[in-house]
Amino acid sequence: PLPENLAFNLLRERSEPVPARLAGIPIFLVFEVVALGFFLVAAMIFQEKQEGVIRALRVSPTGTLGYVLSKTAVFLILSLAYALLLLLLSMGLDVDYPRLLLLVALSSTMMTMAGIAVAVFFNNISEWFFAGTFVLLIFILPSVSYAIPSFAPAVLSWIPSYPVVFGIRELLFPTGKAGFLLNTTGLLVVYNLAALALAYWAVQKKLMQA
């Protein structure tokens, strides 16, 4: 039998159980809101190719960096508006909006620039479909660990969407994990720089060279 004077010390405060109706919000924010730019920027690029906009762009003062950043800014605004509406309707005002929207913003810009880097190598949706779907499937894989916490192979944590899903969950339903959000933000900054470099290279190589 256990001693009567046995005491327990909690490493952090016990978190409240997540309501079932709200548990899917982090997944929806990441794989619906954040992936918005990945899909739509591809469609925009294909339309520009068909209408001859790219030829005009080559002689305009916009330049490669301006092209990438302008596309990214458009879908950043759309993603933030979409996320804000979703959060207001589902969570009300009692959430950490500044940090939540920061994670959404960094994730959205990363995915939009990744979408640009992939889309410029194709001429239409039909050509893009398999490559685009493959990238999105990789991006969605961390949702398995979110839904089944016991299934968390280390390889999933290497996918950029992994820290985003769990970072948003920590903000919506805090468990007291110290430093987790700071690490997530730092990772996203690094991923954004890598995505920007990749998008710049791809646009310069495939669109700006006649």
What does the pLDDT read at residue 171?
A: 87
Range of the domain at 142: 25-206
The DSSP-derived string for 109-174 is: HHHHHHHHHHHTT-SSHHHHHHHHHHHHHHHHTHHHHHH-TT---GGGGGSTHHHHHHHHHHHHS-
Per-residue pLDDT tens for 14-41? 556 566 667 788 888 888 887 888 999 9
Per-residue pLDDT tens for 85-140? 999 988 888 888 999 999 999 999 999 999 999 999 999 999 999 999 999 889 88
Within a domain: residue 13? no
Question: What number of helices (H) and strands (E) belong to the chain?
Answer: 9, 0
Within a domain: residue 20? no
Within a domain: residue 70? yes
Within a domain: residue 19? no
Within a domain: residue 18? no
Within a domain: residue 102? yes
Within a domain: residue 81? yes
